[in-house]
Amino acid sequence: MRNKFLGTGEPGYHPLKKLRTIYSGLRYAVIYDFSVAWKLVFSLLVLAAAVVARDWIDLVLIIVVTALVLFAEIMNSAIEALCDFVETRHNEKIGVIKDIAAAGVGIAMFAWLLVLGFEVEEMLRALF
């Protein structure tokens, strides 16, 4: 796709190409980043249980917090990869940047764990 600001890339917008790029990035993140993979698998399990229980509002909430935590985790991985690409040696400023990105993941993960914890507890109460 063409970058309007830099004047680089191919002209035209191709939605299918964009979807293929999204799929490729998500696939790469799941395969090579364990923190993304386990969060996705755990969320899918809780999501499946919500579908079975027909808790539609809970289902939407689980999707939203899962998307939030996966987004934060993927952005953190991208920031870390970019920092490592730019500076291969130890650099305190790069360390601060990575710590800030990790803090963003921590906040998203707290919300994710809170919601999924409440959902699992609610489902267990319904079973017993």
The answer to whether the pTM exceeds 0.85 is no
Percent of residues, the chain, with pLDDT higher than 90: 42
- pLDDT of 90 above 80: yes
Instruction: Give the pLDDT band (50/70/90) at residue 114.
Output: very high
Query: Is 1.10.287.3610 the CATH classification of the domain at 34-127?
Result: yes
Local structure of residue 8 (DSSP, 8 states) = B
Q: Is 3 helix (H, G, I), strand (E, B) or coil?
A: strand
Residues shown for the chain: 128
Q: Which residues pair with 8 in a beta bridge?
A: 3
Average pLDDT of the residues of the chain = 86
CA–CA separation, 109 and 112 (whole Å): 5
> Where in the chain are the domains?
1-32, 34-127
Give the pLDDT band (50/70/90) at residue 9: low
Single-letter residue type at 101:
A
